[in-house]
């Protein structure tokens, strides 16, 4: 696991020493991603420079150092991530090329050899892992930027002078001299979702390499993109594993192989364990495949409403792991909120970022690599919207469009009543003929009612950051952007379509950003077996009905897990890393949050309506609404803007002077 940066001009550097200093500054800005070593490579005549920060996981010797040149001398690479099946790739390469001589045993060297023998696109189709990299082809004078199929590892690029700059994090581009304006479409999307979606960047002109894609940069030409694997296209394909027994056996074998591959490490390794289905299955497979006691880590809360630590410990005790846990207190939240905008260098408001970051810091005291259960919900159908969304869509779509706003108003009223009487609230919902839901999900039900003209609008309502963040909060005119990879729902079952949207949108935009930045901020590598391409491929060969029905999700995963762990240790309402934001913003975080939302200069420069925000804040403080999620989304934006930039452009998007341009602090 590492980080890299680079500069590209396609012509000789006018000042090689200045270029080297700039590259070093960019690379130093992401030193947290690779605390073990740095490395640089420049071809002054061709105008290409690569910088690398190394977190040593495989081949700790100098043979694994980067940037690395291929044995044939044609390619130079800066690589971030892991190729889990690189040992089998080596065996295949040795069969294809009898003269293969290895310098070390790193997966980077394996990838370079695969590209040399099979070509870039073919090599990536054979490689399973999490990665992003920059590859310079000396013969063709092409720089290729590539990213893994699920989007586990990030990669940004942007115009720079007459060429390009790129890096593992946005801060690297800022360190290289990025000057640009906030992208208002990205900002509007953030306010709706609580994260900047993967197809957008908070700054104009900056792009992200999309998952499963390769971007080619050539002299005097616009970038071109090729998709070496299309995850979204796998949904809706004919099922080849329709027999439940055969499907379960195939999935179990693949998961065992993948977990075994992901346990290969030259440094200490462990596992995050929440006590839920996904992490418990990963821990079970790790322990059953190991001849020694594995290490597991969990985080809990002082507030028993949110504390899953006892469940994790029960699973750990059953499996016999060496288990450690940390309890998150309000003081811990206060101590870490000031770090979040630096860890997440785009605005990011998934509040589970707090326990995730603290868990990573805790685990890093004991291990350098941690396996996680991330991806199980998206790949195997574990969210309520996968399970209950299709039924809700059917009911809502039958409701006359003229009556939907009225029904939404009743649901909003039920949410208010629910704070006083849950029974009254549920009675109000049942009168509409809608499925009963928890009080915290009532706002999303209201959004769904208001957004039910099209399936895409319905979906956007289900994943929105909160019901209160509507256009009234913005003083500028911009609408959220739909992911261009969004599939047409026709021809797909509704639950499968929602899973596809999550896999290509919510997963890389929220979940994977959260984990990558939290782990990398402390020099910890995380690995997600359930996101391995081999697992995803098998999951898509299984009919959706074997994964999800109207009552339960992840059915096959559960069946596999219950061979290792008793069902009664697992079956309970899904929590995730739920956070007591409503209470914290009225108590421990109140002073910090109030100072941000009343910073009128900051609000004006971001184009936010301070009066509307103040009204929401007061209603929350008076306990007339629970708006913790909406307020957190605003607060994280304001904290990011305050900490990251000297100047913020006006809401019209025009810089009034050079000082109004966004410039690095």
pLDDT average per 10 residues of sequence, the chain (665 residues): 91 92 95 90 96 76 83 95 94 76 87 96 96 97 97 96 94 91 92 93 96 95 93 83 94 96 90 95 95 94 80 95 91 86 93 94 95 96 92 79 72 58 52 54 68 78 72 79 80 91 95 96 95 95 93 94 93 68 90 94 90 93 90 94 66 32 26
> Can you give the pLDDT at residue 515?
97
**What length is written for the chain?**
665
How far is residue 452 from each of residues 402, 404, 415, 472, measured CA to CA in Å? 11, 8, 19, 21
> Can you give the pLDDT at residue 658?
25
What kind and span of H or E run contains 133?
strand 129-137
| Peptide bond preceding 487 in cis form (omega within 30 of 0) | no
> Can you give the pLDDT at residue 61?
66
Q: Decide the pairing of beta strands 322-328 and 295-301.
A: parallel
pLDDT, tens digit (0-9, with 9 covering 90-100), for 585-631: 999 899 999 999 999 989 988 999 999 999 999 999 999 888 899 99
Backbone CA torsion sign across 420, 425, 427, 431: positive
- Calculate Rg over the CA atoms of the chain: 25
Cβ partners under 8 Å of residue 348, min gap 6 = 194, 195, 196, 340, 513, 514, 517, 636, 640
DSSP string, 227-242: ES--HHHHTTPPPS--
> Can you give the pLDDT at residue 430?
56
> Can you give the pLDDT at residue 356?
94
The Cα–Cα gap between 635 and 643 comes to: 12
The Cα–Cα gap between 633 and 142 comes to: 40
> Can you give the pLDDT at residue 487?
80
Dihedral pair phi/psi, residue 245, rounded to 5°: -65, -45
How far is residue 183 from each of residues 126, 187, 244, 476, 562, measured CA to CA in Å? 36, 6, 48, 12, 47
What kind and span of H or E run contains 52?
strand 48-54
> Can you give the pLDDT at residue 331?
83
If phi over 0 gives left and psi between -120 and 50 gives alpha, with beta otherwise, what is residue 275?
left
Cβ partners under 8 Å of residue 346, min gap 6 = 170, 195, 196, 201, 202, 513, 640
| Peptide bond preceding 574 in cis form (omega within 30 of 0) | no
Q: Which long-range contacts does 92-101 make (Cβ < 8 Å, 24+ apart)? A: 92/126, 93/117, 101/71
Measured in whole angstroms, the distance separating CA 639 from the mean position of its chain's CA atoms is: 20
Three-state secondary structure call for residue 114: helix
Contact call for residues 244 and 543 (beta carbons, < 8 A): no
> Can you give the pLDDT at residue 273?
96
Alpha carbons within 13 angstroms on the beta-carbon side of residue 262 total: 33
The Cα–Cα gap between 389 and 401 comes to: 18
Dihedral pair phi/psi, residue 527, rounded to 5°: -130, 140
The Cα–Cα gap between 461 and 446 comes to: 9
> Can you give the pLDDT at residue 451?
63
> Can you give the pLDDT at residue 460?
84
Contact call for residues 131 and 212 (beta carbons, < 8 A): no
Give me the torsion for CA of 234, 238, 240, 245, rounded to 10°: 90
pLDDT, tens digit (0-9, with 9 covering 90-100), for 261-295: 999 888 889 999 999 999 999 999 999 999 899 99
DSSP state, residue 195: B
What are the E-state strand segments in 318-407? 322-328, 369-371
> Can you give the pLDDT at residue 635?
95
The Cα–Cα gap between 660 and 133 comes to: 34
């Amino acid at each position: 696991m590492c980080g890299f940066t680079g500069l590209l001009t396609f012509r000789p550097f006018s000042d090689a020493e200045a270029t080297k200093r700039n590259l070093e500054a960019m690379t130093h800005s992401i030193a947290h991603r690779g605390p073990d070593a740095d490395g640089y490579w420049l071809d002054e005549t061709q105008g290409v420079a690569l910088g690398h920060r190394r977190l040593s996981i495989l081949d700790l010797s100098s043979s694994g150092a980067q940037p690395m040149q291929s044995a044939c001398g044609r390619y130079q690479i800066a690589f971030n991530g892991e190729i889990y099946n690189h040992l089998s790739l080596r065996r295949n390469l040795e069969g294809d090329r009898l003269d293969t001589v290895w310098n070390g045993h790193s997966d980077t060297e394996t990838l370079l050899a695969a590209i040399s023998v099979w070509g870039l696109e073919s090599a990536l189709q054979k490689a399973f892992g999490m990665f992003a990299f920059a590859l310079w082809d000396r013969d063709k004078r092409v720089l290729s930027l590539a990213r893994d199929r699920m989007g586990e590892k990030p990669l940004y690029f942007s115009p720079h002078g007459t060429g390009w700059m790129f890096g593992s994090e946005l801060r690297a581009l800022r360190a290289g001299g990025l000057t640009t304006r906030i992208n208002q479409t990205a900002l509007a999307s953030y306010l709706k979702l609580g994260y900047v979606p993967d197809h957008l960047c908070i700054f104009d002109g900056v792009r992200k390499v999309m998952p499963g894609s390769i971007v080619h940069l050539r002299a005097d030409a616009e970038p071109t993109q090729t998709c070496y694997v299309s995850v979204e296209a796998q949904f809706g394909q004919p099922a080849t594993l329709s027999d439940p027994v055969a499907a379960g056996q195939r999935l179990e074998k693949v998961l065992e192989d993948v977990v075994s591959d992901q346990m290969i490490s030259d440094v200490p390794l462990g596992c995050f364990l929440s006590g839920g289905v996904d992490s418990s299955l990963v821990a079970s497979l790790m322990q059953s495949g190991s001849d020694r006691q594995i290490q597991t880590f969990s985080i809990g809360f002082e507030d028993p409403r949110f504390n899953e630590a006892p469940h994790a410990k029960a699973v750990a005790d059953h499996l016999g792991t060496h288990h450690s846990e940390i309890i998150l207190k309000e003081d811990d939240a206060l101590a870490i909120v000031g770090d979040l905008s630096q860890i997440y260098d785009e605005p990011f408001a998934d509040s589970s970022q707090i326990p995730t970051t603290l868990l990573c810091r805790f685990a890093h005291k004991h291990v350098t690599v941690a396996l996680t259960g991330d991806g199980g919900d998206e790949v195997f159908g574990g969210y309520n919207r996968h399970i209950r969304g299709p039924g809700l869509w059917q009911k809502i779509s039958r409701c006359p469009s003229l009556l939907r706003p009225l029904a939404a108003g009743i649901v909003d009223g039920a949410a208010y009543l629910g704070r006083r009487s849950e029974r009254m609230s549920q009675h109000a919902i049942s009168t509409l003929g809608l499925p009963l839901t928890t009080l915290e999900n009532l706002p999303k039900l209201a959004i769904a009612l208001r957004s039910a003209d099209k399936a895409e609008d319905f979906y956007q309502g289900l994943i929105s950051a909160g019901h209160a963040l509507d256009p009234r909060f913005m003083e500028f005119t911009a609408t959220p952007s739909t992911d261009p990879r969004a599939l047409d729902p026709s021809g797909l079952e509704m639950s499968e379509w929602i899973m596809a949207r999550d896999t290509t949108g919510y997963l890389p935009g929220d979940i994977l950003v959260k984990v990558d930045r939290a782990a990398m901020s402390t020099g910890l590598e995380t690995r997600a077996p359930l996101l391995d391409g081999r697992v995803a491929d098998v999951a898509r060969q299984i009919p959706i009905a074997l994964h999800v029905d109207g009552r339960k999700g992840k059915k096959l995963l559960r069946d596999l897990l219950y061979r290792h762990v008793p069902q009664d240790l697992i079956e309970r309402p899904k929590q995730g890393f739920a956070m007591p934001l409503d209470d914290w913003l009225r108590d421990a975080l109140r002073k910090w949050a109030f100072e941000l939302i009343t910073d009128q200069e900051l609000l004006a420069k971001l184009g936010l309506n301070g009066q509307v925000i103040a009204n929401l804040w007061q209603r929350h403080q008076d306990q007339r609404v629970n708006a913790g999620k909406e307020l957190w989304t605003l607060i994280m934006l304001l904290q990011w803007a305050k900490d990251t930039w000297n100047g913020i452009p006006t809401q019209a998007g025009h810089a009034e002077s050079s000082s109004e341009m966004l410039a690095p602090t």
